[in-house]
Amino acid sequence: MRKTFNLFEFQNQEALPHGLNPEDFFGFLDKVWQEREKNPFFRDFYTSEDDGTGAYDSQKKTKQQFLSEGRHSSLSARNYVGIIHYDGYTFNLLPKIFNKNGVEPDIKKLEYIQKNILWWLSYSKRLKLPKFESDYNKIQTESFFEILVYLFATFTAELFTRHIYQNYTDVERELPYVKGRIDMNAYISTNLCTGNWGKISCVYDSFEIDNLLNRIIKYVCKLLLPQTRAPETKRKLNDILFTLDVVTNTICIAQDCERVKINPLFSEIQIVLDYCKLFLTHSMVFTWKNELKVFAFLLPMEKVFEEFVAGFIEKHKTDIFDVKNLTIISQSCKMFLATDLENNEVFKLKPDIVIKSGNDIKWLIDCKYKLIYQDKDNIPDQDKDNIPALSDMYQMLAYAVRHKCTEIKLFYPQCEGEDVKKFPVHDYLVKDEFSDNTINISVYKIPVILSKSEKLESIKENKLNIETNLVNVLNEILNDSNAK
């Protein structure tokens, strides 16, 4: 039976669990960290801009940035959320915006946190997580990883009851007759030279169930089966494996998903492929005696927050903006801050969201996954100069000057239990003497947490309420900008 530990970002665990070998454990995490660079699909996802402490993670670092070991073998989570299974231990890494005075979350709160994470991920263009609201309330688990596995297993199993994906695949077989074309090299070396003239080595197209997509699905199911503890999920994964029994067993990687070409008409098959890509991309597994022993599924929270806001604005832009025909660009990196003496552009500028009207940039929006306070009187001394941080102001000023934009918006996430309407809007005016313009940098806290009640509401209704609230908040923010 696994021992479970819940860690909020930057929260210290008093000591490493008894019996856990620190050298082996952190060595495993180092391998996970190093492997991230080999996969172009999520290399940028793991490049963290700010870890919440003012320090910057770099791809050049070889040591993992998921957990840190402090004094007296204490364990501290950093800026990643997800799950780690290792040698009988499970570590749930949770967002800091749900941390209330370091109180250990109960099962209901863990379920609530995981459904919020799943909601944020559903807006990520990178992950393309399907919306499956009808099944959210059937899942009772403390791990959002378990939720993802359940959704994948449910969707795929139900799809396979209707049809199984088949496509034309090159097949090489020995036949008593000619089919397709003769593989002369194989025929000479394998058949002619051995006297087995009656068999002909042929290569032909065949409509097969044993294709690359089904091999990927089978591998992912075998990967996930030992990691889930939910009986219903295990049953559905076993049903899928039974259906794909004739499919070849092979090890697959995330890049294999890019090789699968699916007709746009088969959108449901594309969803299954996206799930497979998600698991193969963000998980790391090592084997010992052909058994899956350890597993890690980790995402940097600042990237999750950025992609949620960008995806939300893109989806609801007609309700948010009064101005029509706007172009929304996320993570644009066409601008550089300076050039060196050899005239090479250096210091790439990459605002989270650029909103353009024609060729003109109307707003630059940057998302900062940091804790800021509603009441200035209650701000700890060490944080009084960080609303926003001076480095954030320098960054926004560089964005504004290079992009020739005077309206900058800084978005911070709401913390659990906070009313964002009570958070005062911080406006900072910067006079640009060179262009004779005044740059307005406005700081807001936006609602990003589903409402909570004693009984968890229908997730679909809950989402509609918070989405409407967030649309209204963003609409009000941008209307204020137009009025200034």
Place 220 in a pLDDT band, splitting at 50, 70 and 90: very high
357-360 CB contacts, 8 Å cutoff, 24+ apart: 357/323, 357/325, 357/326, 357/327, 358/325
Here the tokens at position 81 are 């959320």
Q: Phi-psi bin for 150: left (phi > 0), alpha (psi -120 to 50), beta?
A: alpha
Average confidence score pLDDT of the chain: 77
**Cα distance between residue 373 and residue 384, in whole Å:** 9
For the ranges 31-45, 175-189, 254-268, 424-438, the lowest mean pLDDT is seen at 31-45
Please choose, from the candidates 357, 353, 297, 363, the residue with its C-alpha nearest in 3D space to the C-alpha of residue 329: 353
Task: Quickly count: other Cβ atoms within 10 Å of residue 421's Cβ.
Answer: 10
Chain center to CA of 374: 29
Residue with more model confidence, 152 or 287: 152
446, two tokens = 């936006």
Lowest mean pLDDT among 88-92, 135-139, 397-401: 135-139
Q: Is 426 helix (H, G, I), strand (E, B) or coil?
A: strand
- What is the reported pLDDT for 37? 53
For residue range 261-294, list pLDDT tens digits in order: 887 777 788 888 888 887 887 665 544 334 445 6
Rounded CA separation 161/255 (Å): 28
What is the structure's pLDDT at 291?
A: 44
**Rounded CA separation 51/61 (Å):** 14
Preceding amide of 388 cis, omega within 30:
yes
By CB atoms closer than 10 A (0-12, 13-18, 19+), residue 119 is: buried
Give the angle subtended at the CA of 350 by the CAs of 346 and 352, to the nearest 5°.
170
pLDDT band at 52 (very low <50, low <70, confident <90, very high): very low
| Per-residue pLDDT, 216 | 93
Alpha-carbon torsion angle 302, 305, 308, 312, nearest 10: -130
Q: For the chain, give every domain's residue range.
A: 3-112+141-163+212-299, 167-208, 316-483
CA–CA separation, 311 vs 316, rounded Å?
9
Q: How far apart are CA 448 and CA 64, in angstroms?
A: 29
CB-based burial label for 27 (10 Å; 0-12, 13-18, 19+): exposed
Given this model, what pLDDT does residue 244 score? 92
Give the span between the Cα atoms of 218 and 249, in whole angstroms: 7
Query: What CA–CA distance (Å, rounded) separates 373 from 368?
Result: 14
Instruction: Report, as an integer, the average pLDDT of 395-409.
Output: 89
Q: Is the pLDDT of residue 241 over 70?
A: yes
Residue 430 bridge partners (DSSP): 439
Please tell me the distance from the alpha carbon of residue 281 to that of residue 32, in angstroms, as a whole number: 11
Q: What is the mean pLDDT of the segment spanning 374-398?
A: 65
Task: Label residue 215 by pLDDT band (50, 70, 90).
Answer: very high
Closest CA to 365 of 324, 415, 320, 325: 320
Lowest mean pLDDT among 45-54, 194-203, 343-352, 414-423: 45-54
pTM: 0.74
Q: In this predicted model, which residue has the larger pLDDT, 40 or 35?
A: 35
The percent of the chain in helix, strand and coil, each rounded to the nearest 5, is 40, 25, 40
Q: Hey, which of 17-26, 184-193, 461-470 has the most confident mean pLDDT? A: 17-26
- The pLDDT, as a whole number, for residue 281 is 72
Lowest mean pLDDT segment, chosen from 27-31, 126-130, 428-432: 126-130
CB-based contacts of 213: which residues, under 8 Å, 6+ apart? 165, 167, 260, 262, 269, 272, 273
pLDDT category, 136, cuts 50, 70, 90?
A: low
How distant is the alpha carbon of residue 97 from its chain centre? 17
Report d(CA 231, CA 89) in Å as an integer.
Answer: 19
